[in-house]
Each structure stands twice: as C-alpha cells, then as structure tokens.
Amino acid sequence: MLNTDKFISQLQQLEPALATARRVLITAPGNADGDSVGSQLALQRMIRHRFPQVEVTILNDEALPGRYRFLPDVDTVQTPETYEEAFGKSYDVAFIVDGGIDRAGRVRPIFEKAKTQVFIDHHQVSADYPYSIKIVDPHASSNTELLYYLSQSPFFETPLDRDFCEQIYLGLVFDTGFFRHSNTTPESMELAAKLLRTGFDFTRVGERGMLERSFCSLHLLSETLSRAKLIADGRVIWSSIPLKSMEYQGAECDDREGIIDHLFLTVGIQVAVLFYELKPGLTKISLRSHGSMDVAALARRLTVRGGGHRKAAGGLFEMSVENTQKLVLGELEKHFEAAGLSQ
C-alpha cells in the first residue's frame, strides 16, 4: 500500500523551503508524455494551494505536444522561447518530476542554480544526481499516483477538484496503458475510482490525451505497420521509422507515440521492437515483451543509454538505424535460438 509515511523526513525538509520561497521552478525531461505533463500541472496546483505566496513557473526545454492542449492550466507551461526571463531569475526551490535532470536540456542550468533541488519520481534509475531532496517510489504506477498521495498528506492537503483529478488521471492512464500494464495495482484502480467520483470527463481525458491521432500521424502509423517484419520464427516483430518518413509525413515526435503497441499486440509474438532514426547516426529503440524476455536487461547490455522495465524498455544508440537494427535484431535472434534449444 502506498502511503506518505516513508517520505515524512523529505516532506519535513520541503515544507520550510516552500514556506519561505518566493519563486519555484517545475520542470521535467524533454519529450514530455501524459504522466510528465499531468505531474507538472498537478504539482503546481499542490504548491499554489498550500503556499499561495509562491510564484510558480513551469519551464520545459521543448514545447508540449499539441494533444495536451486541452488540460486545465496547460497555458502555464513555458519554454525558453516563451519565457526567456527565466534565465535571469533565481529560484528558491526547483522540482524535476518523472525523470532526471540529465534530460532537461536548457532548463538544467536554471534548475542547478536553485537553493533546494527536489526530485520526485517513480523510477529509481535516474536518482543518481545529488538532489537536495529525493522522493522516489518505484511502487507507484505513475508519477501522478505518487503525487496524489503527497497531495493528500498534511503537508499539502490539496482539494480534489475536477481539474486536479484530470491531471492526476492522465498520468495514471498514460503510464498503465489504461490499467493494462503490469505496474497497475489494486491501489491504482482504487485511486481511479476516487478521481472518477469528482465527475470530471474521463472519456475526454482518455480520448484526447491518449487515443486521438493527427491525420499525418495516422499515415505514419499505417506506413510503419506496413513495413513490419517477423523474425525468430515469428516470435519477434519489428519495424522502423526513418527520418525521411517523419519529414515526408510532416510528423512531430509525439506522432510516434503508441505505434509500438500496435506491433506488440500481434498474435504469437513475444517481443516487439521499433527503431526510430532521430538523426543520421543517432537511433532510439522501444522494446516491449510479454514477459519471457527481460527487455530492460537487453537494452542495458547493448547501450549505456538503455533501461526501463522488464516488459517495456528503450535505449539510445550512437549508430545508424541500419547498424542498430543489425545489432539488436541479431541479439534477439540469438536469444530466441538459445531459448528454442533449451525447451
């Protein structure tokens, strides 16, 4: 059961820092997803409610994907382009949520100047940086689930209004894939029930925040699926998104979201892998596994910038997309060949 008792000492440190703060910064790693956006907006509400004297700034290195424009308070999210003044300001407390400061781009130097640097996450992996306060709970399905528990502690006592619940719910459904992934717990379902009772439009949050695709993203999906191939006796499915497809379709990074799930839900496969050519010589991969293979271990073994969970992982390779495919698919074939022999 998730509760905030284990974070009492961190919250006791955070309280005086926020009580005396004039300016607070909230940020998250680039390429923000539903959990990241929901977390930043929910945390802003938590701070504004309990510490109304504080000026809160949400600043991200990259502009938010258009799909999140419907969320309450989303207009408060700034980028260095829309809020250049941030570089000249000093912040008393800076938060980074749902990932480490190493991926915060241009916001990193501003974060590092803050007196108190706070890290709130549900992944253990990115906690190495010497933050002043770390609140990490790998048992939380999503970062917004962790924030919800913090929000209901005596340190915040955030009112559960519809807007706040929408923000928490988006992170919850995004990271659990609508309560399908193995990080879903009875507690996350109970939390969803509690949120739904406030009467917010959960259909809209699910459809606009998760399922809707732009027309060009639909084309990108269809093109990528039509290129899919099977290897390892049909146990591995893979496809790739070359840079020229992104350019041809006029697609944004966010348009790639969810394509891997279509590959993964193909009958008979055990592992799905999608290669994204970010630029010539730089390739990102996403991996999904039904459980027989630990794809996070594979990603970590193949690149220093690899990691994730047993069933969902990713990695970054300083290699061409063709060489990355050769390496990763070769390893997958070897793995399933060996697994086949031992059966």
Footprint of Mn ion (CB under 5 A): 35, 98, 143, 175
Contacts with 331 (C-beta within 8 Å, 6 or more apart), sequence order: 298, 301, 302
- Taking each continuous run of H as one helix and of E as one strand, the counts in the chain are 12, 12
Q: Give the start-end residues of each E strand in the chain.
A: 23-27, 55-59, 77-78, 93-97, 116-121, 133-136, 229-231, 236-241, 271-279, 282-289, 305-308, 312-317
CB 105 to Mn ion: min, Å: 18
CB 311 within 8 A of CB 182: yes
Closest CB to Mn ion among residues 64, 220: 64
Nearest C-alpha neighbor of 200 from the set 239, 161, 232: 161
CB 142 to Mn ion: min, Å: 5
Closest CB to Mn ion among residues 257, 277: 257
Closest CB to Mn ion among residues 54, 99: 99
Closest CB to Mn ion among residues 98, 137: 98
Closest CB to Mn ion among residues 98, 254: 98
Question: Residue 165, Cβ neighbours under 10 Å: how many?
Answer: 25
Question: Residue 210, Cβ neighbours under 10 Å: how many?
Answer: 17
User: How far is 303 from 21, CA to CA, in rounded Å?
Assistant: 41
Strand arrangement, sheet containing 312-317: 229-231, 236-241, 271-279, 282-289, 312-317, 305-308
CB 174 to Mn ion: min, Å: 7
Closest CB to Mn ion among residues 35, 254: 35
Closest CB to Mn ion among residues 256, 335: 256
Residue indicated by tokens 């570089």 = 87
For 302, counting Cβ atoms within 10 Å of its Cβ (0-12 exposed, 13-18 middle, 19+ buried), the class is: middle
Nearest C-alpha neighbor of 235 from the set 313, 332, 94: 332
The Cβ-side half-sphere exposure at 141, using a 13 Å CA radius, reads: 29
Closest CB to Mn ion among residues 144, 249: 144
CB 121 to Mn ion: min, Å: 8
- Please give the C-alpha separations between residue 153 and each of 6, 9, 12, 16, in angstroms, as whole numbers: 12, 13, 12, 15
Residue indicated by tokens 């809020």 = 83
CB 35 to Mn ion: min, Å: 3
Closest CB to Mn ion among residues 43, 251: 43
Chain residue at closest Cβ approach to Mn ion: 35
